[in-house]
A and B are shown apart, each in its own frame.
Chain A
Amino acid sequence: MQAIWLTVRLAGIVTLILLVVGTPIAWGLARTRAWWKVPVGAVVALPLVLPPSVLGFYLLLAMGPQGPVGRLTEALGVGALPFTFWGLVIASVFYSLPFMVQPLQTAFESIGERPLEVAATLRASPVDAFFTVAVPLALPGFITASILTFAHTVGEFGVVLMIGGNVPGVTRVASVQIYDHVEALDYLQAHKLSLVMLLFSFIVLLALYWWRPAARRVG
């Protein structure tokens, strides 16, 4: 139970952070024609193809006591991040970034220039138009992106092992817990937790596919 609660908490926090961080990135990628669009888009997509252990390895180095992030957190008095809950949050933000940015970018692109031009002729500044026109019109995209981000964070395993380890109540999320149970040959517990995860994933996808037609109608 503790593992499930921890998993949900991690996924929720990561989704919220990515809404704040991913939205401007998606907006920038959707609106620009600058040269950096392609390289930035590729960097954002990296976690899709990178083995989680590779991402985890680099994050571990960066956040470790000798790494740049680690030195910063030590200096700030926060201590080293690996094997803490917040270390896991930061790693998951990187890991799930494309799942937030890509649906949002698609949603912003499908709005097109016109509604924003209309808003400008109706005296709305660019920031005003973003919140009052772009965000409402991209709402289905926001919902899709949030669901995908949440679900993907729930399902991560490799990065958690690299960064979070297996600290009960701190970094031992559901996927790691199942691994533990199997290693301990406790198949009954593994079954229970796996079933919960299976149902959760199915329900998420079901919700997503039901949402899709509505998304098309509005967009």
Chain B
Amino acid sequence: MAARRSPGGLSLEGIAARFKLGWAGFTLEVDLSIPGRGVTVLFGRSGSGKTTLLRCIAGLERASQGRLVVNGEVWQDEGRWLPTHERPIGYVFQEASLFPHLSVMGNLRYGLRRAHPSGEISLDHAIDLLGIRHLLERKPDRLSGGERQRVGIARALAVSPRLLLMDEPLASLDSARKSEILRYIERLREEVKIPIIYVSHAIDEVTRLADTLVLISEGRVTSVGSVPELTSRLDLRSQIGRFEGGAIIDARVLSQDLATGIAKLQFAGGELLTTDLDALAGEHVRVRIRARDVSIALDCPKNISVLNCLPGVVAEIGQDGKSSADVKIDVGGTSIIARITRHSIGTLRLAPGVRVFALIKAVSLDRHSVGFS
């Protein structure tokens, strides 16, 4: 879809951010353009500057040089500075940061009372979306970590923001709470039609939430693109994570076999079997295939427990790595990455153009690596 343009030449859809700021030992220098809808995940290691970038967008940090245009509105430019409290944003902090002197309802009302009643999201809607109706009378110190963060998200939504900024909202939670909150955020993405910018360093959050991925390293944006596009690039593997990383592909649930618990997915390059999937036939899902879970064979082995044997062609072999390397396999137009030993690359004589089979265990595609899209 082509971005609409105002007569002045400003793009009415999308977020254009250019910031330059620095302090001792750190410089942030970005020039970024992202879509004005869907979830954009700013991904990078801690200290890479992703939170600083988010704070610049919120106006919590003031870049000495900068320009920020959000869906046609100039929030920062030479001679123009919109203070944080005048920006139509919602901000979810890493720790929920609820006001301890107010009840849950008091926290929710704090922003509501001050926001312009644009009415995109009602307070009731936010309360139901995050499932916190039974907590309204409580004080924040009577809430669990997960509950606090849900209230924090509802509080940010209750101001009816036109841009939702989330700074690692799951980072301070244990893994059970993480997946709980992640479900709420997924619902949020479905139901609330506002752009979300989400800071994360966890690849499973990227799998489940991201429409657009922005990779940040040492204060600079290194790549911007769709998730399947960036996760299939070998040169970005070190940034996305060698251990947990791998290609992320979009697929659709074809069928669920209730007797065996095996689900059949269809993606652009073929079919994929997986287990214990919380999805119904017809639903769209996103699957992260970890590179270390993919084996390569020159023919499809017969008597083997591995259920997925996908025919493809070696597209590229990564250069880095002493004893092992990343091999990108083109499976009917979809890229899958396998991490195998250099020894095997030698014995199988793998090189670009060689026909191979990618072997993937169905159980390696668990619910941590599958998200709804």
Contact = CB atoms under 8 A, between A and B. Distances in A.
Contact of A120 (B60, B100, B115, B155): B60
B81 interface: no
A114 to B, nearest CB: 5
Interface string A119-152: 1111111101100110011010000000000000
Contact of B110 (A117, A124, A218): A124
Contacts of A120: 59-60, 83-85
B134 interface: no
B335 to A, nearest CB: 39
Interface in A107-123: 114-115, 117-123
A169 B73 CA distance: 66
Contacts of A115: 97, 99
Chain A interface bracket (under 10, 10 to 19, 20 to 34, 35 or more): 20 to 34
A137 B114 contact: no
Interface stretch (B18-26, B88-96, B179-187, B313-321): B88-96
Most B Cβ at <10 Å: residue of A117, A128, A129, A218: A117
Interface extent on B, as a size class?
A: 20 to 34
B159 interface: yes
Nearest to A114: B97
A108 to B, nearest CB: 15
B60 A122 contact: no
Interface in B33-74: 58-60
Nearest to B109: A122
Contacts of A139: 101
Nearest to A129: B85
Nearest to B155: A122
A118 B85 CA distance: 10
Contact of B84 (A121, A136, A137): A121
Interface centre among A120, A125, A132, A218 (most CB of B within 10 A): A120
Interface of B: 58-60, 83-86, 89-91, 93, 95, 97, 99-101, 110-111, 114-115, 155-156, 159
Given A118-B99, A122-B110, A123-B111, 9 more contacts: A118-B93, A121-B91, A122-B155, A123-B85, A123-B115, A124-B110, A125-B83, A128-B114, A218-B100
24 contacts: A114-B93, A115-B97, A115-B99, A117-B60, A117-B93, A118-B91, A118-B93, A118-B97, A118-B99, A120-B84, A120-B85, A121-B58, A121-B91, A122-B115, A122-B155, A124-B110, A124-B114, A129-B85, A132-B110, A133-B99, A136-B101, A137-B101, A139-B101, A218-B100
